[in-house]
Structure 1
Amino acid sequence: MDATTQVTPTFLTQHELSELLRLPERTLEDWRLTHTGPPNSKLGRHVRYDLQDVFAWAREHRHG
């Protein structure tokens, strides 16, 4: 990859993220309301999660 190549963000729906993390969608909703989960964006009335932000959030919350 050279300096002119841009990485296109991949946005996931709540359902897609819940499957990826193997968590209930309700957990993601609770985290969103309490601002404790992965960063998210509101596009109109749709919530989306940038995959790279989710990976960064998961790395920050690792134990050990």
Structure 2
Amino acid sequence: MSTAREQPDPRATLRAGLPDRYLTPGDIAEIFEVPKETVYQWRKKRLGPPGFRIGKHLRYDPADVYRYVRERKAASAAA
């Protein structure tokens, strides 16, 4: 029996409902199936979901990520 706590797959958690923690750039990369460097480029160019800093750490609010996805879907449907 493993004593280490396994983190749930962020993609599955997001589909089922919002996770109860802030997401890391690695989580965002996994959710959108892109390299982590792409996530940093999105942030630099202000293209992806909005993030914020906690000290030196970059985090994403799951509600903002969900809203970003809904807006992207709506924009794609309107085009």
| TM-score, scaled relative to structure 1 | 0.79
**d(CA) in 2 for partners of 1:28, 1:51:** 15
Aligned length: 57
Deviations 1:13-61 (A, max 9, x none): 1011111111111111101001111010100000001111001011111
Higher strand share: 1
Q: What is the percent sequence identity of the aligned residues?
A: 33
**d(CA) in 2 for partners of 1:60, 1:26:** 23
Higher helix share: 2
Q: Which structure ranks higher in relative contact order (CA pairs < 8 Å, sequence separation ≥ 6)?
A: 1
Residues 9 and 56 of structure 1, relative CA distance in 2, 3 Å threshold: same
User: What is residue 16 of structure 2 aligned with on the other side?
Assistant: none
Compute the displacement of 1:9 (Å): 5.3
| 2:25 is the alignment partner of 1:14 | yes
Q: Which runs of 5+ in 2 are unaligned?
A: 1-18
Output the aligned Cα RMSD. Answer: 1.5
